[in-house]
């Protein structure tokens, strides 16, 4: 059985399609078939939660607080009838948080995963397995911190607004293009242009320090994400799940 590798012609067609998409209109909705499902991150588990456990005796109210230290999660678990228990730093395994609770002679296992923005899973107490579900509690902002955070957001928006000279790396080939961005809160508008033409950003977002857009055209879609580091934009692109690489941009001086 022979193994067929892409020839130079097919690679050239792939790169041509990539370049053409860079000059196409921009949007934010990627095709589900070209976006891989990423495992949850440590930060997605962090927070304070309230929930319940279903058992033969009815429902039990629960509370849990999860904190992060690097790649490890730790915190406390409160069950009114059993009191508060502190759990040791634990790493995620297969996207799940597995906690060992209870006394040494009567261990309890709590396994949690993220589903639809909630923590769901099972709590094994002896021979009984209870279904658990937690909802995240809203974060109460420190009044003294809010003005500072708002000022940082405004400063980043002002820095991001303007004309950017960008370049994408496509299998060793550099493709230059230009982004003209305007940020209003989390909404990003503007235009993109290259040697192949000009397009308009129909929708875009700037949230939590991350720029996210999708360049859409007849040859496929390119998902662009980038962060602002030391005054420059840098990030990754994914062209229809077939070609990935890096892109960078520097703001054009007035």
Q: How far apart are CA 48 and CA 38, in angstroms?
A: 23
Which CATH number goes with the domain that contains 50? 2.40.128.120
Q: How far apart are CA 193 and CA 38, in angstroms?
A: 31
Do 79 and 172 fall within a single domain? no
pLDDT digits (tens, 9 = 90+) for 8-61: 555 566 666 666 666 554 433 444 444 456 788 989 999 999 999 987 778 889
**170 exposed, middle or buried (CB, 10 Å; 0-12, 13-18, 19+)?**
buried
* The pLDDT of residue 4: 43
Q: How far apart are CA 122 and CA 55, in angstroms?
A: 11
* Strand partners for 222: 215, 239
Phi, psi of 8 (to 5 degrees): -65, -30
The answer to whether position 227 is within a domain reads yes
109, 136, 163: which is the final residue of a domain?
Answer: 136
Do 121 and 189 fall within a single domain? no
* Strand partners for 98: 111
* Strand partners for 169: 174
Do 117 and 148 fall within a single domain? no
* The pLDDT of residue 32: 41
The answer to whether position 18 is within a domain reads no
The answer to whether position 13 is within a domain reads no
Structural domain including 205 reads 144-251
Count: domains in the chain:
2
91, 108, 136: which is the final residue of a domain?
Answer: 136
Do 116 and 183 fall within a single domain? no
Q: How far apart are CA 66 and CA 44, in angstroms?
A: 10
Residue numbers in the chain where pLDDT is lower than 70: 1-37, 82, 104, 140-155, 216-220
């Amino acid at each position: 059985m022979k193994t067929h590798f892409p020839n130079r012609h097919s690679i050239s067609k792939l790169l041509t399609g990539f370049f053409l998409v860079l000059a196409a209109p921009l949007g934010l909705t990627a095709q589900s078939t070209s976006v891989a499902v990423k495992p949850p991150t440590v930060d997605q588990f962090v927070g304070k939660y309230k929930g319940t456990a279903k058992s033969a005796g009815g429902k039990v109210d629960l509370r849990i607080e999860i904190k992060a230290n690097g790649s490890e999660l730790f915190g406390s678990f409160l069950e009114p009838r059993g009191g508060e228990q502190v759990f040791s730093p634990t790493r995620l395994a297969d996207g799940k948080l597995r906690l060992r609770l209870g006394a040494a002679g009567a261990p309890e296992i709590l396994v949690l995963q993220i589903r639809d923005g909630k923590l769901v899973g099972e709590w094994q107490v002896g021979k009984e397995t209870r279904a658990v579900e937690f909802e995240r509690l809203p974060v109460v902002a420190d009044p003294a911190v809010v003005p500072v955070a708002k000022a940082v957001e405004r400063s980043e928006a002002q820095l991001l607004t303007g004309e950017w000279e960008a370049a994408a790396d496509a299998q060793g080939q550099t493709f230059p293009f230009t982004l003209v961005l305007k940020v209003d809160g989390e909404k990003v508008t503007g235009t993109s242009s290259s040697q192949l033409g000009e397009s308009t950003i129909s929708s875009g977002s700037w949230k939590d320090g991350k720029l996210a857009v999708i360049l859409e055209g007849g040859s496929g879609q390119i998902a662009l994400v980038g962060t602002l580091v030391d005054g420059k934009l840098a990030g990754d692109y994914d062209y229809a799940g077939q070609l990935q690489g890096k892109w960078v941009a520097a703001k054009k001086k007035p």
